[in-house]
A and B are shown apart, each in its own frame.
Chain A
Amino acid sequence: MRVTSCHRSSKENIWKLILPLASCLLLLSACAGVSNKSAPKRFISKPKIERVEETGAKKEVIRPEPKPLMIASTPKARASVKVVEEGRREMAAGNFEVAEKQFQEAINIDPNNGIAYYYLARSEFELEKYEQASGILDKAEDLLAGSKEWLEAVATLRDMIKEKSQRPNHNDE
């Protein structure tokens, strides 16, 4: 009884060994197949190649990765976001000049903080510096391209700037 059971268990053990080994081999061969396909030399990580067929010719295209809005993704960005928050508080209290300074500092800390540019443009708008506001929005638009909501906000502010700056006798610098 004892021997039989031992025999049975040794059979089971062999299968237990063979099955994972086989699956490992399969996996390795699959991996080897992938690595044989040479990735474009210019990239370290594998980019997504889009194959388009136009006018009978096949075109392999790599589009830019959609830029997600990277809010506070790095320490620098997190620090910058905090300064933007302070600036927004100042803006809400009507202290536009202080807010303007805060947003400039937020950009100084993280020049890729698109939201800081947006609010800087906003404070320039409130301070009636329409030309400056419009220029800063150009940069905000670039950096906020990954967010539909922010692009809408940029467009609305742009319309407001346009409307105000078309009025005669505005105090633009």
Chain B
Amino acid sequence: MWLSPKRSEKAKKAKIKKIWKWLKITVFFAVCFTLFGVWYLNHLTRSIEQRFELSQKWKIPSKVYSDAEYLYPGVGLLHKGLQLKLNRLGYRDTGDKITGPGDYAFGKGYIDIYLHDFDYPDDKFTGFSIRLTLDGETVSKINNITNEEELSTVRLEPELIAPVFSDEMEDRTLVTMKEVPQHLIEAVVLIEDERYFKHKGVDPTGIARAAVKDLFAMRIVQGGSTLTQQLVKNYFLHSRKTFTRKINEALLAMILERRHTKAEILEAYLNEIYLGQRGRSSVMGVGEASKLYFAKNVDQLTLGECALLAGMIRSPSEYSPFKHKEKASVRRDFVLDKMYSEDLITARELADAKAEAINPPERTTQPVKAPYFIDFVKQQIVDLYPADVLESEGLKIFTTIDMTAQLDAESAVDNGLKKLETTYASILPKDHEGPLEAALVVIQPQTGYIRALVGGRDFYSSQFNHVTLAKRQPGSTFKPFVYLTAFDPKRSKTPFAPSTYVEDKAFTVEAAGKDWTPSNYDKKEHGRVTLRKALEQSYNIATAKLAIEAGLDNVVKTARDIGIKSDLMAVPSLSLGSFEVTPLELASAYTVFPNGGVKAEAISIITIVDKDGKVLDKRSIEMKRVSDAGPVYLTTDVMKGVVDHGTAASARRLGFKGIAAGKTGTTSDYRDAWFVGFAPQLLALSWVGYDDNARINMSGARAALPIWASFMRDYVGNDQEDFARPGDVILVNIDPETGQLATKNCPETSFEPFVEGSEPNEPCALHPATGLLKKIFGN
């Protein structure tokens, strides 16, 4: 069939038109694709640069530290629990000799420690090895092992109490390439990406080689991902294996290699790589992993440790020196052999590194210690450093806490509550909704440093901090403020002394339009008693009477002066602790007793520094005299009697033998049990009760005192240092029956303390002295 030339021309034109149309479509799509490609590459580049160029590539958790601890000749070590402390600090027991930072060894009559480096605020400490020569359990001498210099003090670095994590829970210590040992860099490159310095982000040769190996093995034995791809995967992408992710990974790796040097990428990789778990948090990067597995900084790693760390990247859990020492050793030796075969190490180095013992430090499984204290610290700085700053800026917060005291306090609360619940199950209310709660706070009176804080029974069940937030009636623990007022001639309407008599006899007084009649704990009246006895036995009637006689306004003023900030009213029930206070407020007020009338403000934070060590905030000790030393001493002296033979005498039966003073407290209907007690150098307050204010049916002596005594027994021991008597307090020999000066005829006499000038001047009227002439001739 022939087509007319006209028709064939038409068909030709149509064909050309069709081709042209397709060409246009193709060009259009090609242009679109190219444009999209360019846009997408640009987008990827921008997104990479936005994150990678940031000065802060990672969220670095802020870290809260305890106070540093000092060792010096004469310090007892058993009491200090040195070995436990070294374990908590991540030191490792290396048997009989130390070889590097973070090692310790207990020998016969000595302890060797290779101290860690530590960045203190304004002071970079470089670790060195020391020998503590022992005389029994006491340090007799400290020497620098290297130069044998004798040292007067050695500071053990602060303990990490808790990191403040973001949701990612990643723990990381940033390192620079300068800090990372050459052996570690070589081992990582060799074992993870041999051709790292040859490829441009993606390594087709490596992929092909891996594919062949996998094919022969019929399973995946080698991955083809380069270090750059691994970094990109961890840093920018999700971990799901999808085709798009793989494409993106390759593209991003190539972009990264075009824009950054190999050294920059490697540094990021060494900081980013996952290297195991510490409890719930992930350990990221070689810096943090060195601390976890080898108790040292990355620049202090040995060749064997470098090889092991590099080998662990593939599977941190499988080669963990904590769990699988054998596997870890095989993996390390494999890396070392490979390094040797590549001429990176000598035969001697290989043999030495293989001979290194794999000896990780004791594992710390509880990442957050002292949770209530940490929470309290965060609350105080929330305005300056909100949660997102703490979670990402890598601040270091140095606090006043003493971890040995904190652990003793936590154990005292835990054991104390369990014991109460088993021993007094029949007294406690049945099927009470919430658990029995307790709190314990420990303060160093001279500095106001909070040394331990247990805010409740279990932080993970209830975050309510009973030490700092609970407002409870203090009951009889308020009484010492009444006595302090009465013993102070400058405060009291009429001056009193511990030997002064008062009537413990029921009375009624009108307060706020109502009659108020105080009664005693034992529902009895005790008649004429000394103020010493009234406080030792915690008599309510006598104390209420004393408060009225000393002046209720004056009592309020005393309480205010020594730091009670909560609402107080000058009503008679004030004397028996009817106005609510927080345990911290009460403990802090009590510090004036062991501190001779000087009040040091309670503090918990000492210094905050940023990740580069720059000091951002510093709190210093603040104190001032709030009471004369004399009346403070008289009150303390009487409170010693509370512990020795008063309402808290059971402390002695509970095993606490050191010198101490204190006061029990029980609120009406047994809703709160308190004990506040102190030795010259330490004060502790314990409280037991229910959150809903239900009755616990136990007194302060029964419920709170055992917790206090257990803590003091463990932490303070049997210290016999007494409270210093101020210069204006004299002891005068009196007749205890009359309170007047003792004569030869008084059947019983005792020396009682008085602020000089307020002592009695009249001889005992009941047993007057009879002179020789009177004896012979009579009156």
Contact = CB atoms under 8 A, between A and B. Distances in A.
Interface stretch (B1-9, B67-75, B101-109, B426-434): B67-75
B180 to A, nearest CB: 31
Given A75-B75, A79-B70, A109-B70, A41 B153 contact: no
B152 A78 contact: yes
B421 to A, nearest CB: 37
Interface string A5-36: 00000000000000000000000000000000
A92 interface: no
Contacts, number: 129
B186 to A, nearest CB: 41
Nearest to B728: A64
A125 to B, nearest CB: 13
Contact of A78 (B72, B447, B730): B72
A100 B620 contact: yes
B598 A139 contact: yes
A120 B447 CA distance: 12
Contacts of A41: 750
Contact of A62 (B447, B730, B743): B730
B741 A58 contact: yes
A138 B623 contact: yes
A109 B72 contact: yes
B769 interface: yes
A78 B732 contact: no
A61 B70 contact: no
A76 B763 CA distance: 46
A107 B621 contact: yes
A108 B620 contact: no
B620 A104 contact: yes
B598 A62 contact: no
A94 to B, nearest CB: 14
Interface residues of B, number: 49
Interface string B143-183: 00000000011000000000000000000000000000000
A117 to B, nearest CB: 9
A169 interface: no
B624 interface: yes
A164 interface: no
B761 A57 contact: yes
Contacts of B208: none
A120 B621 CA distance: 9
A132 B621 CA distance: 8
A89 interface: no
Interface string A115-138: 000001000100001011011101
Contact of B153 (A40, A54, A82, A142): A82
B741 A57 contact: yes
Given A59-B761, A108-B447, A138-B598, A98 B153 contact: no
A107 to B, nearest CB: 6
Interface string B607-638: 00000000000101111110001000000000
B212 to A, nearest CB: 63
Interface in A40-74: 40-42, 47, 49, 54-64, 67, 74
A145 B726 CA distance: 9
A110 to B, nearest CB: 9
B621 A142 contact: no
A107 B730 CA distance: 28
B643 interface: no
B732 A107 contact: no
Given A76-B74, A134-B624, A139 B730 contact: no
Contacts of A83: 153
Contact of A59 (B445, B620, B759): B759
A40 B620 contact: no
A55 B742 CA distance: 15
A162 interface: no
B573 interface: no
Contacts of B70: 79, 105, 108-109
Given A54-B761, A64-B725, A138-B625, A75 B751 contact: no
Contacts of B731: 42, 47, 61-62
B520 interface: no
A57 B759 CA distance: 13
B756 to A, nearest CB: 9
B230 interface: no
Interface residues of A, number: 47
A147 B637 CA distance: 26
B729 A104 contact: no
Contacts of B595: 139
Nearest to A124: B620
B384 to A, nearest CB: 16
A101 to B, nearest CB: 7
Given A59-B732, A61-B730, A82-B152, A104 B741 contact: no
B515 interface: no
Contacts of B692: none
A56 B629 CA distance: 30
A54 B569 CA distance: 43
Q: Which of A54, A98, A109, A120 has the most CB of B within 10 A?
A: A109
Q: Which of B72, B622, B727 has the most CB of A within 10 A?
A: B72
Contact of A97 (B122, B153, B730): B122
Nearest to A120: B621
Interface in B95-124: 121-123
Contacts of A136: 621, 623
A105 B153 CA distance: 11
B73 A78 contact: yes
Contact of B624 (A47, A59, A138, A142): A138
B596 A142 contact: yes
A38 to B, nearest CB: 10
A79 B122 contact: no
Given A61-B731, A79-B70, A111 B751 contact: no
B62 to A, nearest CB: 21
Contacts of B727: 64, 67, 145
Contacts of B596: 139, 142
B621 A104 contact: yes
B444 interface: yes
Contacts of A56: 763
B522 interface: no
B449 interface: yes
Contacts of A79: 70, 72-74, 152-153
A135 B730 CA distance: 26
B721 to A, nearest CB: 9
Contact of B446 (A40, A58, A100, A139): A139
Contact of A60 (B123, B624, B729, B733): B733
15 contacts: A40-B750, A57-B761, A58-B763, A59-B761, A60-B751, A75-B75, A78-B152, A79-B74, A83-B153, A111-B444, A135-B623, A138-B624, A139-B595, A142-B596, A142-B726
The 8 A-B residue pairs with the shortest CB-CB distance, nearest first, are A75-B74, A79-B72, A111-B446, A135-B624, A60-B733, A138-B625, A82-B152, A62-B731
Interface of B: 67-68, 70, 72-75, 121-123, 152-153, 444-447, 449, 595-596, 598, 600, 618, 620-625, 629, 681, 724-727, 729-733, 741-743, 750-751, 759, 761-763, 769
Interface of A: 40-42, 47, 49, 54-64, 67, 74-76, 78-79, 82-83, 97-98, 100-101, 104-105, 107-109, 111-112, 120, 124, 129, 131-132, 134-136, 138-139, 142, 145
Given A61-B732, A75-B73, A142-B629, 4 more contacts: A59-B733, A78-B72, A105-B68, A120-B621
